[in-house]
Amino acid sequence: MAAESNAIMETRFQLPGQTDFYRGKVRDVYTLTDKLVMVASDRISAFDYVLPRPIPYKGQVLNQTAAHFLEATRDICPNWLLDTPDPNVAIGLKCEPLRVEMVIRGYLAGHAWREYSQGKRSLCGVTLPEGMREADAFPSPIITPATKADEGHDEDISREDILAQGLVSEAHYVLMEQYTYALFRRGTEMAAAQGLILVDTKYEFGLYNNEVYLIDEIHTPDSSRYYIAEGYAERQAAGERQRQLSKEFVREWLMAHGFQGLEDQLMPIMPDSMVQEVSDRYIELYERLTGKAFAPAPTLHLEQRIESAIREALARL
């Protein structure tokens, strides 16, 4: 069966009380008067581009992973999630997003490593120690915020500039920092229980009745980087690359087929075999991250299933 027939590329619902609609790279977001309905599609993005073919069950994996971690961190801070009436749907409070993304890093990887390897020793106003190698642990986790861009790439920013520009009030920012460190500690503990290392991640916050709430997804493979804990020290001592649990394998496939999101590069079309492999890998990610067995939702009449669940939930909430 072709992937498109059992996966959801986009939705176009008209929901009761709907006031707005926004299509992100992965989620379709319906705004109601006081709530948000997020439908996790099976779209997949890399290098800031959405790939042409959907990945069966990817949306379910992301939505259920995010819900798993949001429920597991409610004791740390309030969050937006009210209900997950369908495996691909999250309904929550409509918060006013704060325009700063709280990126926290326990290890030197990704963007931080690229900056460091070019000789930079300061990132978002944080001084980085000398003599580090890729995948080394920082003495303690560091927060390297980014401004939320409506289009294009997010931009690094320091705590001082956030406050100087009035992007977030000092009282709210201090709370966001506290929540970020506490959430990262919890995420680190939960990862360790699954034989994983939480390398870095990002949290987004919003205001609801002027209180800081955690919004969006957390600790998913789309928002976080994980290393396999077993053999980490040995690989690091030998100067070998760390084994990752992330969607890096999708980027690697694209690069191997001549695409890195640069101008004049053509996006390759995944064959059925690769679509199936990516789907299988996402299901593996879910089971590894949560410790739960994945229960695939029925894919017959996908859109009707999702819309019915949303409408029933909205009538109840």
Confirm or reject CATH 3.30.70.1520 for domain 3-95+262-316, answering yes or no.
no
Which residue intervals of the chain bear CATH 3.30.200.20? Answer: 3-95+262-316
CB 23 within 8 A of CB 31: no
CATH fit for domain 96-245, picks 3.10.20.340, 3.30.470.20, 3.40.50.300, 3.40.190.10: 3.30.470.20
pLDDT attached to residue 149: 65
Assign 47 a pLDDT band (cuts: 50, 70, 90).
Answer: confident
Mean pLDDT value across residues 47-66: 94
For residue range 138-177, list pLDDT tens digits in order: 999 999 999 976 655 679 999 999 999 999 999 999 999 9
Which pair of tokens denotes residue 158? 């320091």
Question: Is residue 201 predicted with pLDDT exceeding 80?
Answer: yes
Per residue in 151-186, is it b (16+ CB within 10 Å) or e — as a string? eeeeebbebeebeeeebbeeebbebbeebbbebbeb
- Of 46, 26, 30, the closest CA to residue 262 belongs to 46
Radius of gyration (Cα) for the chain, nearest Å?
A: 20
Share of the chain above pLDDT 90, in %: 89
Which residue intervals of the chain bear CATH 3.30.470.20? Answer: 96-245
pTM to 2 decimal places: 0.91
For residue range 5-24, list pLDDT tens digits in order: 689 999 999 999 999 999 99
For residue range 272-292, list pLDDT tens digits in order: 999 999 999 999 999 999 999
